[in-house]
Amino acid sequence: MKKVIYIIVLALFTGILINACTNNNNQQAGAKIADSATVIETVKDPNKPKPMALMMRQMAANADSMKAKLLRGESIDSLSFPFIRFYLVEPTDKNVLEPQFFENAKVYQAAHKAIFDHPENQKKYYNLMIGACISCHENYCSGPLRRIKKMPIID
């Protein structure tokens, strides 16, 4: 009976010790990742990006994914790439919130929708959507233009 209790206590103690070591290692690894992510984020954007900038980054990632699928000959759908209402959130520079900015947003939204309305010619309409991005960014926030200009599909 004493042996059984001893084995149970030993097993519990071992389990607790292993769990504590694993959690400690995970926390240390998480701290290293968080530290390096903080450094990378600080280098990329030391000004704490505003919601519109974050949404624009997601839109760029979506455009990259769209392009990759289209280049593989796959079609894309609006469920996988929904329209992001970026114009409803706080921009980095509040001065952009003028009528022309919202007109540009409408043009972009129409171009985004057209990709899915024309499944037989999605590459063409994808390029038109990227053209809408370029057109707007030439007037507002020119920083990402170099990246955006690399996004069209060239056949």
pLDDT (tens digit per residue) in 119-134 = 999 999 999 999 999 9
> What pTM, to 2 d.p., does this model score?
0.70
Question: E strand or H helix at 44, and its extent?
Answer: helix 2-44
- What share of residues in the chain are helix, strand, coil (percent, to 5)? 70, 0, 30
- Is residue 27 in a domain? yes
Cα angle 65-67-69, degrees, rounded to a multiple of 5 = 70
User: Tell me, what's the pLDDT at 98?
Assistant: 96
User: Tell me, what's the pLDDT at 45?
Assistant: 61
- Tens-digit pLDDT profile for residues 75-109: 999 999 999 999 999 999 999 999 999 999 999 99
User: Tell me, what's the pLDDT at 44?
Assistant: 52
- Is residue 153 in a domain? no
Same domain, 75 and 128: yes
67 versus 3: the higher-pLDDT residue is: 67
Indicate the angle between helix axes 122-137 and 99-117, nearest 10 degrees.
170
- Is residue 143 in a domain? yes
Domain, as residue range, for 101: 51-148
- Is residue 155 in a domain? no
72 versus 47: the higher-pLDDT residue is: 72
129 and 111 in contact (C-beta within 8 Å)?
yes
- Is residue 40 in a domain? yes
